[in-house]
Amino acid sequence: MDKSILKKIDKVHDILKNKKVLIAYSGGVDSSTISSLAKDVSDRVLAVTVNSQLMTNGELKDANDTAKEIGIEWKVIDVDVLSNEKFVENPPDRCYYCKIEILNKILAVAKEESLELIIDGTNADDLEDHRPGHVALLELNVRSPLAEAGLRKNEIREIAKFRGLKVWERPSMACLASRIPYGKEVTAEKLKIIEKAENVIKHKARVKVVRVRCYDDLAKIEIGKNEMNKIYSEEIIKEITEYLKSLGFKYVTLDLEGYRSGALDEVL
């Protein structure tokens, strides 16, 4: 492994050494890697996953499986993010209100378990994007060791691969609410429809990266750019269109630019 990455790992270890740590844990490559690094040097590591309307059943299972693979304590807490009216209104800083709701529950667990350091898997690349949720982290003194050490996504994947974590090549996932344009109300019904739509597209087209953007009665499908050719089949398009219309969409479209992170932020 490159010496520059090893130096960054040392910085992460310095932050975590001899600490009792709670990790806000999604089970993705970032939170899994920081969990693995914490296990090296921390006195105790507890990974806490939030089960809310924004997380799919598949993601919850993946988080459980990866926590077992790493060999860390794992706890699930239920959080009703739709109880936060500001979040439901879906302003451009929606993520801030979600993070506040979630982190307050996580901080309560840290207090119960006498854990002194609360961290998450934010990386250096994340800080360059539109991330209002990061403000909540700062306000509540939640640290992001990967970002503090300057570790970028590609470096984190390299670390995860080196450590033998199966999650190292898993595509990045954003919460289901990120499929709903700002200013459009976030509801449990919309989130369930989006989850069902994406699951069917993944199954029918055999693709890994899918986003279904929900514009009222119009569904805009984004596919990973290197997988676009998999959906160019009359039969697959017909099956997907019929299914999405059965969910309540009147119009089903395909974004010819493919998936790109933060597509809905392009209007800001």
Q: Strand 210-215 vs strand 218-223: parallel, antiparallel, or unpaired?
A: antiparallel
List the strands of the sheet with 44-51, edge to edge: 73-78, 44-51, 20-24, 117-119
Predicted local distance difference test score (pLDDT) of residue 267 = 55
Predicted local distance difference test score (pLDDT) of residue 53 = 94
Residue 253's pLDDT band (cuts 50, 70, 90): very high
pTM given for the model: 0.90
Predicted local distance difference test score (pLDDT) of residue 1 = 82
The rounded percent of the chain whose pLDDT value lies above 70 is 97
Predicted local distance difference test score (pLDDT) of residue 263 = 61
**Given a cut of 60, is residue 207 above it in pLDDT?**
yes
What is the residue-averaged pLDDT of the chain? 94
Predicted local distance difference test score (pLDDT) of residue 102 = 96
**Given a cut of 70, is residue 265 above it in pLDDT?**
no
Predicted local distance difference test score (pLDDT) of residue 266 = 60
> How confident is the model over 67-118, as pLDDT tens digits?
999 999 999 999 999 999 999 999 999 999 999 999 999 999 999 999 999 9
CA dist., res. 230 & res. 238, Å (int) = 14
Read off the amino acid at residue 33. Answer: T
Predicted local distance difference test score (pLDDT) of residue 164 = 96
> Of 126, 160, 120, nearest to 144 (Cα)?
120
Residue 128's pLDDT band (cuts 50, 70, 90): confident
The structural domains of the chain, ordered by start, are 3-169 (3.40.50.620), 176-267 (3.30.300.10)
Predicted local distance difference test score (pLDDT) of residue 244 = 98
The residue written with tokens 């939170």 in the block is 31
Residue 219's pLDDT band (cuts 50, 70, 90): very high
